[in-house]
Amino acid sequence: MHYREVETRREFVARMETGADWREEIETLAEAAEIDAGFFYALGAVQDAEVLFYDQREKEYESVSFEEPLEVAACMGNVSWLNAERFAHTHAVLSRPSGQAIAGHLDSGTVFAGECYMREFEGELVREFDETTGLDLWL
């Protein structure tokens, strides 16, 4: 367990734009407010979604596309620097009209409506390549 004490500097609530991309909206907030490190939480609905699953053996992402309206029942993630850009690492739980849940790493999704809360930590979180997992990890 690698850990670091952090201090919250600013907090934001946001409403995502209908028709925009879910993850890009979060990165737009991070960019606009110059957030270098933070955690966020969001809920709402999307018109479609692309969900990634990391193949732990092959060390690569597989993608599944859902071309249908879905509720965003829960979404959480964090903002850090990756390859000199602000990156929103975004996981989400989506659902269909029957209540059936779909979940994973949310790469993209067209916003129908979305409400977000983000807290910014002092300092930076920077992702670097980790050989064991093949992922870009911070700390």
Residues 61-80 that bind a copy of itself (CB under 8 A): 62, 64, 66, 69, 71-78
Query: What's the closest the beta carbon of residue 84 comes to a copy of itself, in angstroms?
Result: 20
Backbone angles phi, psi at 56, to 5 degrees: -70, -25
> Per CB under 8 A, does 99 bind a copy of itself?
yes
Q: At a CB cut-off of 8 Å and minimum separation 6, what does 42 contact?
A: 16, 22, 26, 72, 75, 76, 114, 115, 116, 117
Q: If you search the block for the tokens 């209908």, which residue do you land on?
A: 18
91: β partners: 76, 105
Rounded Cα gap, residues 94 and 107, in angstroms: 13
Query: What's the closest the beta carbon of residue 120 comes to a copy of itself, in angstroms?
Result: 10
Quick note: the x/- pattern for a copy of itself over 3-32, rule CB under 8 A, is xxxxxx-xxxxxxxxx-x----x--xx--x
> Per CB under 8 A, does 41 bind a copy of itself?
yes
Query: What's the closest the beta carbon of residue 111 comes to a copy of itself, in angstroms?
Result: 9
